[in-house]
Structure 1
């Protein structure tokens, strides 16, 4: 279930065509110094019963976090423009799907920018829900 949810979200990110080299969880990605990039993480939270019984549906919730990194000292304009593109692509009501599993984006937001390990970092958080069969 989570593999299909994560795949739906990642495929939706890829379909945005953002043009950033991107690292995904545990893939060994190494960024190039001075080149903007992104990192994508799925942060699942609690699940809830939608129906009772052994055979039923559960509601899964979580956040897809897309962290974007830009060189320090180059201003925030390009980073904010990219964040806007990602936020628009992950707008509330978007319904990525993978192998029969639909995920619904409930909301998306951006964190304040900050400098981390020599990069200007912005985090875009897309809250999602998905109904899965038990």
Structure 2
């Protein structure tokens, strides 16, 4: 028969191990929530970039030409790039600007083709993201 003293502190060690396992699980949960939030923001920005590209494509369809006036392109670029602090939504489209957004339109009128690129960078990100689409009007 074992003495009572040989079991002393065993319950305390079990509790400490249980707390350690729980803490590791909790840290994993926090990391998963953080990653989900970051992915949600990235997805929202990609969707917004696609909508911004679609807006300039709609202008091309309306004029039936891939060559747009410099004013139209400049207005699109300005609305796309406004900082969130100065403009929370574009009154013409209902779209919010992209962080550090930049839009380019490269038109090839001879082939009725245009390449539209929308680039943005999150304030804390080190890399930029780009959405590019090619439009053919026939």
Specify the TM-score bucket, using the shorter chain as the normaliser: 0.3 to 0.5
Q: Looking at both structures, which has the greater relative contact order when contacts are Cα pairs under 8 Å and sequence separation is at least 6?
A: 1
Larger radius of gyration between Structure 1 and Structure 2 = 2
The TM-score, its normalising length taken from structure 1, stands at 0.34
- Of Structure 1 and Structure 2, the greater strand share is in 1
